[in-house]
Structure 1
Amino acid sequence: MALIITARRMRMYFQNHRIIVRTNYPIVKILTKPDLARRMIGWTIELSEFHIQYQPRGAIKSQAIADFAAELTTSSAETEHSSWILYVDGSSNERSCGAGVVLEGPGEIVIEQALKFDFKASNNQAEYEAILAGLRLAQELEITKLICKSDSRLVIGQLNDEYEVRESFLQRYYHLVKQSMSTFSEISMQHVRRDHNTRADALSRLATTKCKGMHRSVIHVTLARPSIDLQECLTTDTESTWITPIKQYLLDGTCSPLGEKTMKLQAARFVLIGDDLYRRGYTQPLLKCLTPDQASYVIQELHEGICGTHSGARTMAAKVFRAGYYWPTVQGDCTNFVQKCLKCQEFGTLSHQKPEELHFMLSPWPFVQWGMDIIGPFAPGKGQCKFLLVGIDYFTKWIEAEPLTAITARNVQNFVWKNIVCRFGLPQIIITDNGRQFTDRTLAEFYEKLHIKHIASSVEHPQTNGQEEAANKVILNELKKRLGPAKGNWTEELLEVLWAYRCTPQTTTQETPYSLTYGTEAMIPVEIGEPSLRRQTLDLDLNKESLSVGLDLINELRDKCKIREEACKIRAARRYNSKVKPRLFHKGDLVWRMRSSARKEGGKFSSN
């Protein structure tokens, strides 16, 4: 196969010249065997067009290049799935600075590199330069998976985002290394002890002590200048902050002509002591003024440092002043930091304040807007009924209910047709939750034929159908009080509960559902047991005339009830909204969600 590949890639030479193949393998005998396999027959025919002469191999030295190529070549699968290990170390002393790089790969491949710096560098800068040199070497070798090891705990901690990078020139190195790391598919930074990094340490010292003509087995590179622009770092350090104009005014009295009056008023509360600016405060005599970078460090240390308690924004701002620091946006910066603190959100107390204002719904006319819901399962009642389908009109508060043995879309359709359409006419809107019996395709076609609009409440907020939920609560509470130990009699007690509710004045309308439906008050059983005035003076002819007059006046009564209902709901919304703490979210925001099994994993120490 090696001979076939060589002949294909060097076909022009094989065709124009006589080729001599030196090998100890019996290739001629193999190709001339009568019982060759299919592929071997093809190879024999392919090689027959060339003038090839086979000779036995001579001394071992003549085969050294081929042996070296065969040993160095690794399979693509091995190279793809194996990771290279990079050892780096930086060295800095009074005489010179340098770095050492050791790159180990599969198949016992080792590449060593020593770097000498022609510029003065600190220990941390030398460590970053060593890492950058190692990453560049790995990129030249087209390595995709790399494990970088160094004995500098500070540098590795900064690259793993465990430590904060404060110095400006180290921040530049940090971003440059992060940018180089993004070119690898898999890369990790690991800290090792100094005794496990002796080879890279020796190379770094070797670079600082190398003499001419020595160490030719190691790649030696000299860096003429740092990998970052130090002039840009110095410019960054002297950026203008809110302290700069005040300090400049206190030093030489220079300021902008447009803000001269304002600067005089502001600078009166500041004093310059040495190179630091202080502000005369109320909690402390002098408060040290901080730049944004210094303020960020102070906030983080006070919030989650050794003396930090993950306190709120106002408490943390008070601790800043008590510690003797000041900057103009203390309260806002503390608020933003607390809102973005991961631990405060994960382990903080759950807020039960209303997040959004109350939205109430009004029905324009009786029996135009209905709400439906299902209660159950109950104890089996008469006819093995376990569920209760309830419907309520949003205007008159009239309730219709029917016991069911099973909750199906067919039963819901029969309830709408018999209890709503045939008794009160076609409604305009029916509001339900997202139960499968309410969102059935057959039921949707039934609504579409009758031109009834079906509205489903939100999946995450089923309280949208609040009127129906209130009706369910009234029916359940009254059934509990009436049943006692006989829980299976709820179907017999249901009619009495509905009759009692229909004859009870409602808070929002100040009228009974019966009067808003039929134009007059119903004769309740107590007026028969103990006759009332209208029972004693009952005249059927006069009563019939009064009922007709009541039907003519019912529209005015309904208009008054509509005004009363709206006023009552506005008062309830005003009281509800007074306790609302708005929490607005936008698309793409990440929010915490409480887990139902939060306390089952870590006990008292688990998050919410």
Structure 2
Amino acid sequence: MEKLVLALVCAAKRLRRYFQAHPIVVITDQPIKQVISRLDVAGRLQKWSVMLGEHNITYRPWTFVKGQILADFLIEKSNDAPPDTSVIKTPQESWTLFTDGSSCVDGSGVGLILTRLEGTEFTYALRFQFTASNNEVEYEALIDGLRIAAQMGVRNVHVSADSKLVANQVLGTYVTKEENMVKYLEKTNSLISGFANFSISQVPRSKNKKADALRKIASTSFAHLSKQVLVEVLKEKPIQEEEVATVKKASELCIKARQYELLEGVLYRRSFLKSWLRCVGTLQADYVIREIHEGSCSMHVGPRSVVAKAMRFGHYWPNMHRDARDMIHTCNACQIHRPVPRNPQQPLTPITAPWLFYKWGIDIAGPFPKGLGKVKKFVWDNIVCHFGLPGEIVSDNVNSSVITRSRIAIREAKAKLKMTKYYNTRDCGVTFRPRDFIYRSNEASHAMDGGKLGPKWEGPYEVI
């Protein structure tokens, strides 16, 4: 069996482009699918199962020759015309949509009234926060009315609009030339395609008084609107919506679909290090979490441990970590025995370690000894040698040259101390006595390299 699976894996590697572009049908009399689909499969078969799972492979058994010939004959001689079937048509109620819109200095708004023959009436008003012309507002009213009707499940609709331009452009009588009007017309046609029956007509404003009153109220203010009128605020035009990247979403969906497999009516998800994980529903996921967290073992562990153990048992569902965390937050025992934080109520103020004798104040009383280096010697003998290097020296009775020389002396002492520490760490402190024999490295004497097996030292030399 492993040889057959290996042969299929080699064929998938050699013909990878064909396997990825087309569905593959494998006709065999061996139970390859049952073997590689077992949850307890391990070793090389598990690895090959993961490799073959990314392709759309269908396994079919061999059929008898006579049965195959008979099936081919029936396919070739079958009647192309299918039998007539009676279709029962359910009557759909007809609705009438009255639209009206206007644009003025105060704003833009539309009024919509959706009625049917029985007398049921729905009123709707929309106020726009973007600038638009009168024709654009009329299209907005038509688009939003069709959107609301589609959400209500209306299949047959007749639109009564008072804009002659919009009605004739939708019917195809007028030619649309402007770019915005073309986009509005395309958006309208896409919504019209969702209805079984659609018709539109232009009506005078005298027969559209209710919608006209709604659009006037929506375009001016909201103070006088009735509580029965629903008002919605739109911030952007529908033609400015971003186009959906269908190709990109389809490719992402294909990539995600490779991780799942439907085996005998049960959905499984591929795992990287384990066997196939069985996808469970909401109720089963809740049962698994509670059984692991507070079941017979009563572990009461965190969400990460619960999810890891559920995956080890072969279960998977989306949002595993979130569901486990939400369930643990509702566990009474975990809330009672959870660790209590000991953090202070207010943030702590850090206290830095003090630097003794960091700042020195110098005030010279009387004549100072004259001569080169007297100030440096005074600072070195009385401050540096007794208390270490100071961080700052302040004086108000010494000229700038004295302060400058003091600062130079401090920086010089710091540099000397730094170099002394550096050389002391590198010095090994090895001493040689007379008549001692030593070896000298070839790198120090620049001697010729003797190769990998040659000597690395010269000597011995005697110390005199």
TM normalised by structure 2 equals 0.32
TM-score using structure 1 length: 0.25
Q: Which is helix-richer, 1 or 2?
A: 1
Identify which of structures 1 and 2 has the higher relative contact order when contacts are C-alpha pairs closer than 8 Å and 6+ apart. 2
